[in-house]
């Protein structure tokens, strides 16, 4: 009885984080997380790319201005501009330098803005993969990344070219005796994002993926960006038709996927990893499956994550949610 309270030496220690949304700070922390938590395996759930572009407008004669978090800033030197650019990147936004003429064009052209977003997002992911190759080389730590519903499809191509990071989307990957299947696809959202589909289609997608698994449930991990419906890991503020939180944000409703829930109930993997709903940090059990959503505080530069010891037992018992 007492011995059950104490852990066997884990076969594998997994570190999982998700939804870093372009935050330079969170990515750098993620690359150090394996060493910091003595994990053998690092997994980054979906939504790597940022949500906003921050223009730094040149007014001439070495003067610039920009606005971040509704605070207007004026800069008189290159150093000040660089410092501001770093603070923007830490937050997960993309800074870019421009002038009043180009700003006018961007404001009036959706196409130009799309192109700029594309360039900044993909350029950042490419740079991040280079950082990962340098940082993880020689560590012996496995690193898996699977994009989420907010990440465009070109991200996959960039990740798949990295040497020390493995693209996990749609694949069954192995580490030790464990198999993990991953997807960033979610059920429909009000934002009409890149990787979302109806529940039936998502169920079909998940079935195809999970059917490739050959390991027993206690050696299986599902890394599905979208949390299971009604698990508490999917509680989000109820919003009205104008995308405003109802009741001051106090009314929470489940927005997760029923297809994901069904897949978990049927497959009963030992562990399932989720993200997507930043506010819904937590863990729960669906049958024998330990389900985790570590949440996200990427804007604050905090890397929320989970350290999980896998010992091959029927249930995962040793884990902790972290605030890196």
Partner 1 sequence: MANNAVAGSDDLFQRKATGLLRGWSVWDGFIYAAFSINLITLGLFTFSYAPFIPDGSLMLAIILAGLYLVFQTVTYASLIAVMPRAGGDYVWTSRVLGGGLGFVLAVTGWWFILWHWVPIYADLLNKEVFVPLAALLGLDGTVAFFSGASGLFTASMIVAVVASLYVSLGMRAYARIQKFCFYGGLIGLAVMIAILLFSSRSDFVSAYNSGAQDLFGAGGNAYQATIAAGEKAGGLSTSSAVYPTLLLIPFLAFFNLYSNWGATLYGEVRGASDFRKNIYAMAGALVFTSIFAVILLLLFAKTFGWDFYYAANANFWNGEGPVSVWPYPGMLVAMLLGNPVLQIILVAVLSLWFFGWTGSVFLSSTRVVFATAFDRVLPEWVSRTTNNGVPYAALLLMLIPSIPVSYAYAFGDNFATYVLDAVLVIAITFLGSTVSAALMPWLKPDIYNASPIARYRILGLPMITVVSIAFGVFLVFCIGQWLFNDLYGANNGQSLIYMMILYAIAFAMYAGFRLLRRAQGMDLAMVYDEIPEE
CB of 164 to partner 1, least distance (A): 18
Beta bridge partners of 292: 273, 283
* Contact in structure between 73 and 65 (CB atoms under 8 Å): yes
Q: β-strand 63-68 against 71-75: which pairing, if any?
A: antiparallel
Taking CB under 8 A as the criterion, the residue among 48, 66, 202, 291 binding partner 1 is 66
CB of 42 to partner 1, least distance (A): 11
In the region spanning residues 90 to 119, those forming contacts with partner 1, defined by CB under 8 A, are: 90-91, 93, 103, 106-107, 110, 113-114, 116-117
- For 5, the token pair is 């309270």
Nearer to partner 1, 61 or 70 (CB): 70
Window of 70-78, 125-133, 136-144, 202-210 that interacts with partner 1 by CB under 8 A: 70-78
* Residue 219 DSSP class: G
Counting contacts by CB under 8 A, is residue 54 touching partner 1?
Answer: yes
Window of 86-94, 125-133, 139-147, 202-210 that interacts with partner 1 by CB under 8 A: 86-94
Helices 199-210 + 258-267 axis angle, to 10: 30
Nearest to 296 by CA among 14, 15, 19: 19
Taking CB under 8 A as the criterion, the residue among 194, 206, 213, 220 binding partner 1 is 194
Window of 125-133, 156-164, 211-219, 271-279 that interacts with partner 1 by CB under 8 A: 271-279
Residue matched to tokens 């999970």: 210
Nearer to partner 1, 107 or 174 (CB): 107
Counting contacts by CB under 8 A, is residue 254 touching partner 1?
Answer: yes
CB of 301 to partner 1, least distance (A): 6
What are 234-239's contacts with CB under 8 Å, separation 24+?
234/276, 234/277, 234/280, 234/293, 235/277, 235/279, 235/280, 236/277, 236/279, 236/280, 237/279, 239/190
Taking CB under 8 A as the criterion, the residue among 282, 289, 291, 310 binding partner 1 is 282
């Amino acid at each position: 009885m007492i011995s059950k309270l104490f852990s066997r030496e884990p076969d594998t220690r997994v570190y999982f984080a998700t939804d870093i949304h372009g935050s330079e700070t969170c990515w750098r922390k993620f690359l150090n997380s394996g060493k910091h938590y003595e994990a053998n395996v690092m997994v980054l759930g979906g939504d790597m790319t940022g949500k906003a572009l921050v223009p730094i407008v040149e007014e001439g004669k070495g003067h610039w201005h920009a606005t971040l978090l509704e605070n207007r800033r004026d800069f008189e030197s290159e150093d000040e501009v660089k410092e501001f650019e770093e603070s923007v990147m830490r937050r997960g936004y993309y800074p870019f330098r421009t002038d009043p003429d180009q700003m006018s064009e961007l404001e009036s052209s959706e196409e130009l803005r799309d192109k700029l977003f594309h360039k900044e997002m993909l350029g950042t992911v490419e740079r991040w993969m280079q950082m990962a190759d340098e940082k993880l080389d020689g560590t012996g730590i496995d690193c898996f990344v699977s994009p989420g519903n907010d990440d465009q499809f070109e991200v996959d191509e960039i990740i798949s070219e990295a040497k020390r990071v493995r693209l996990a989307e749609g694949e069954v990957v192995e580490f030790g005796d464990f198999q993990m299947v991953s997807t960033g696809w979610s059920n429909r959202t009000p934002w009409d994002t890149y990787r979302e589909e109806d529940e039936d289609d998502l169920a079909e997608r998940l079935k195809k993926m999970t059917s490739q698994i050959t390991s027993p449930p206690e050696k299986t991990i599902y890394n599905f960006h979208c949390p299971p419906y009604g698990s508490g890991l999917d509680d989000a503020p109820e919003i009205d038709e104008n995308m405003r939180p109802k009741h001051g944000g106090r009314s929470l409703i489940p927005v997760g996927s029923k297809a994901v829930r069904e897949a978990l109930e049927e497959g009963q993997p030992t562990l399932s990893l989720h993200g997507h709903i930043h506010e819904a940090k937590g863990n729960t059990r669906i049958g024998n499956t330990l389900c985790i959503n570590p949440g996200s505080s990427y804007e604050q530069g905090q890397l929320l994550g989970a350290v999980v010891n896998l010992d091959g037992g029927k249930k995962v018992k040793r884990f902790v949610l972290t605030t890196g």
